[in-house]
Structure 1
Amino acid sequence: MAKAVGIGGIFFKSKDPVALMAWYQACLGLPGEAKEYASFPPAAMPPNGATLFSPFKSTTSYFAPSKRDFMINFIVDDLDGALKQVAEAGATLVGDPQSFDYGRFGWFIDPDGNKVELWQPTAAV
C-alpha cells in the first residue's frame, strides 16, 4: 500500500499573494527564495518539532475569530519575539500565549484575516 510520508505544502487563496508572502517574509523571516512561496527543508525543523495533519470538528471555535475553515501553524524559535514582530507589522494578536509540556503557543490574525498559530516546541532534553 502506498503511504503519505509528510505534508508537501499548505495552499490557500489570497487577494494579493505576493504582498502577503512579503509580509510573512518581513515579520516572521520566512525563507525568501521566491515571491510566491517559502520552502522549509527537513533540516530546519527543531528536534522536538513536527508537522501535524489534524482535522477538527466542523463546530470548532478554535479558529475564531477568523471566518476561515483552516489555520496555519508555524514553528518558531522565539514565540515572544515572533508575536512582537507580527504585532508591530499590523497583525492582531488573539488571546494570551499558552504553555504545554510540548511547547508554547500564540495566535494572530494576518492581513488577509487568517488565524495563524505559532508554536515554540519545548527544547530537547
Structure 2
Amino acid sequence: MAKALGVGGIFFKSKDPAALMKWYEDTLGVPAMGEFAPFLPATMPPGGCTVFSAFKDSTDYFAPSQQSFMVNLVVDDLDGALRQVTQAGATLAGEVQSFDYGRFGWFLDPEGNKVELWEPSDTPPV
C-alpha cells in the first residue's frame, strides 16, 4: 500500500500573493522565492512534529478568521515571533496557551488568515 510521508505543502488563496509572501518572509523568515516557497527547516526542534488533522465543520477554533483552514508554524521563540508579527501589522487572536507539549499563540495575517504559532516543549504531542 502507498503511504503519505508527510505534509508536502500549505496552499491558500491570497488577494496579493507576492505581497503576502514578502510579509511572511520579512516577519517570520519564511522564504519567498517566487510562486512557490520551499520551506525546509534544517531541523525540527525536540518535541516538534507535523500534525495533519481535520476539524468538525462547526469548529470555532479558526475564528475570527472566516477561512476553512489554519496554518501552524513551529517557531523557536513564541514571544519574539508574536512581537514581530504585531509590529508588522498582524492582529493577535487570543491569549498564549501552554500545554505539556508546548506553547501556542495566534494571529491574523494582513489578509485575515488565522495562523497558529507553536513553540514545542521537549515532549511531542500524542
Shorter-chain TM-score range: over 0.9
Q: Which runs of 5+ in 1 are unaligned?
A: none
Deviations 1:52-103 (A, max 9, x none): 1100000000000000000000000000000000000000001110000000
- Between the aligned partners of 2:21 and 2:11, the Cα distance in structure 1 is 12
Query: How big is the shift at 1:42?
Result: 5.7
- Between the aligned partners of 1:85 and 1:65, the Cα distance in structure 2 is 20
Aligned residue in 1 for 2:9 = 9
Query: How big is the shift at 1:29?
Result: 1.1
2:96 partner SS: strand
2:93 partner SS: strand
How many residues are matched? 123
Q: How does 1:93-112 map to 2 (within 5 A)?
A: 93-112=92-111
Deviations 1:20-54 (A, max 9, x none): 0000000111134x133332326332121111110
Aligned residue in 2 for 1:38 = 37
- Alpha-carbon contact 2:62-2:68 (below 8 Å) kept: yes
- 1:20 paired with 2:20, answer yes
- Alpha-carbon contact 2:46-2:121 (below 8 Å) kept: no
- Between the aligned partners of 1:82 and 1:37, the Cα distance in structure 2 is 23
Q: Which runs of 5+ in 2 are unaligned?
A: none
Counterpart code for 2:108: I
TM-score, reference length from structure 1: 0.93
- Alpha-carbon contact 1:21-1:36 (below 8 Å) kept: no
- Between the aligned partners of 1:9 and 1:101, the Cα distance in structure 2 is 27
Counterpart code for 2:7: I
- Between the aligned partners of 1:40 and 1:19, the Cα distance in structure 2 is 18
Counterpart code for 2:45: P
Identity %: 67
